[in-house]
Amino acid sequence: MDKKRLHLIIQGKVQGVFFRASTKEKACELGLRGFVRNREDGTVEVVAEGHMAQLQKLADWCHIGPDHSIVDRVQIDWMPYIAEFEEFTIN
């Protein structure tokens, strides 16, 4: 089984630049499930589940982000797939 769970914390200019909406669009395009949300510390958190190849594409995309974002750092954690989500949402 090549399904995994991906947890990302994205730092930089990532709030107020449509990062969440763009991440949701990209995740849905890749067939992933999970969520994206802003955190009080100014970072964006992503939790996604799906096939490893699609998750890696999302992680690669998050290193760049949408126009007007400036990504300084992406913390990546891989975890076991647990089939927690039915869709990809903005929280």
Full pLDDT tens readout for the chain, 91 residues: 699 999 999 999 999 999 999 999 999 999 999 999 999 999 999 999 999 999 999 999 999 999 999 999 999 999 999 999 999 999 9
Q: Does 57 reside within a domain?
A: no
Q: Does a structural domain hold residue 59?
A: no
**Domain membership of residue 35 as a residue range:** 1-50+68-78
Asked if 91 is an active-site residue, the reply is: no
The pLDDT of residue 41: 98
- In a domain, residue 30? The reply is yes
pLDDT at residue 28, as a whole number: 98
* Residue appearing with tokens 């709030």: 15
To the query of whether residue 33 is one of the catalytic residues in this protein, the response is no
Q: Which of 5, 33, 37, 38 is catalytic?
A: 38
Within a domain: 21: yes
Q: Quick check: is 43 in a domain?
A: yes
Confirm whether 85 is domain-assigned. Answer: no
Residue 8 lies in a domain: yes
Question: How, if at all, do strands 88-90 and 33-38 pair?
Answer: parallel
Q: Is residue 91 part of a domain?
A: no
Describe the strand order of the beta sheet including 3-13 as a list of residue ranges.
70-80, 3-13, 44-51, 33-38, 88-90
| Active-site option among 20, 33, 37, 91 | 20
Structurally, the chain folds into a number of domains equal to 1
